[in-house]
């Protein structure tokens, strides 16, 4: 991994391929490795930039107030990339959407997969998950917090562990543990999402979700597709919440024509 040092620590990033630049923004329970199975296909036609958000993976936890959109802008400035295609997953979707609203001149297109919705009226299932995770973290039981998150975001509500591809849980366990260990300090210093109306999104947008995801996120994806002007929608039949992990080939196949626009 390459490193960009700044006043708050450092951001780690990786670059592969050649062509129009694509930036991959990972989920809030993962790091840049969640894109491992997608990068080779995208790098055949694009310069693929992926990085660890502050406090995730190999990027240092923050030591002061920060905005994820400022971090992304700083990385693009460092790399001399004026305008990029953004592809994201889960919490990374809010980062990418906020960046698009804040810096529309820096974004060529936006592909959002399983992004959350601010102040969404969460279901009882999601509230129970949040309470269980909070209890585990307050008890200092990171192992249990990781188990709870793997159950919710990798396995999902619609399948058993026998239906999840071998090795995926172990691939996510370490990055997820790091994210959860740093969750409190990252949340303390993060300045939160930017304000902006979805109708202001003026770039080509693709919205996607896994058919096996929590019902809340399936509903949210359709909301985004309906409220972002001219957004396209795609559903991945074999994926739960983490589409790049569950269905990398199908994701790459959906992205190729979209990114070529």
Q: Is residue 253 one of the residues assigned to a domain?
A: yes
CATH number of the domain to which 17 belongs: 3.40.50.1820
CB 110 within 8 A of CB 208: no
Q: What is the pLDDT of residues 101-112, one digit of tens each?
A: 999 999 999 999
Q: What is the pLDDT of residues 206-231, one digit of tens each?
A: 999 999 999 999 999 999 999 999 99
Q: Is residue 152 one of the residues assigned to a domain?
A: no
Average pLDDT, the chain: 97
β-sheet bridge partners, residue 177: none
Structural domain tally of the chain? 1
pLDDT at 226: 98
CB 73 within 8 A of CB 106: yes
pLDDT at 196: 79
Residue 177's pLDDT band, with cuts at 50, 70 and 90, is very high
CA separation for the pair 96, 116 (Å, rounded): 12
Domain assignment of residue 197, given as a range = 2-121+185-259
Q: What is the pLDDT of residues 35-92, one digit of tens each?
A: 999 999 999 999 999 999 999 999 999 999 999 999 999 999 999 999 999 999 999 9
Q: Is residue 144 one of the residues assigned to a domain?
A: no
Q: What is the pLDDT of residues 96-142, one digit of tens each?
A: 999 999 999 999 999 999 999 999 999 999 999 999 999 999 999 99
CA distances from 176 to 29, 69, 220, 231 (A): 5, 22, 23, 31
pLDDT > 70? residue 195: no
CA separation for the pair 241, 54 (Å, rounded): 22
pTM of the model: 0.97
pLDDT at 261: 87
CA separation for the pair 249, 252 (Å, rounded): 5
pLDDT at 192: 74
Q: Is residue 246 one of the residues assigned to a domain?
A: yes
């Amino acid at each position: 991994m390459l490193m960009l040092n700044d006043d708050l620590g450092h951001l780690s990033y990786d670059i592969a391929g050649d062509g129009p630049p694509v930036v991959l923004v990972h989920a809030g329970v993962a790091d840049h490795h969640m894109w491992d199975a997608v990068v080779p296909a995208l790098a055949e036609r694009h310069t693929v930039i992926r990085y660890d958000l502050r406090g995730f993976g190999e990027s240092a936890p923050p030591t002061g107030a920060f905005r994820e959109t400022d971090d992304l802008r700083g990385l693009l400035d460092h790399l001399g990339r004026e305008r990029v295609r953004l592809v994201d997953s889960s919490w990374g979707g809010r980062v990418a959407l906020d960046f698009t609203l804040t810096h529309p001149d820096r974004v060529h297109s936006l592909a959002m997969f399983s992004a959350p919705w601010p102040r969404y009226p969460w279901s009882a299932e999601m509230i129970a998950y949040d309470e269980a995770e909070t209890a585990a973290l307050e008890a200092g039981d990171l192992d249990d917090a990781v188990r709870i998150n793997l159950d919710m975001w990798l396995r999902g509500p619609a399948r058993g562990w026998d239906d999840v591809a071998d090795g995926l849980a172990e691939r996510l366990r370490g990055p997820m543990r790091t994210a959860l260990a740093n969750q409190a300090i990252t949340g303390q210093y993060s300045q939160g999402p930017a304000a902006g109306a979805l109708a202001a999104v003026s770039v080509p947008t693709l919205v996607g979700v896994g058919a096996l995801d929590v019902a809340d996120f399936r509903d949210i994806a359709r909301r985004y597709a309906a409220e972002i002007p001219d957004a396209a929608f795609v559903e991945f039949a074999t994926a739960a919440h983490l589409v790049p992990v569950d269905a990398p080939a199908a994701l790459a196949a959906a992205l190729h024509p979209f990114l070529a626009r």
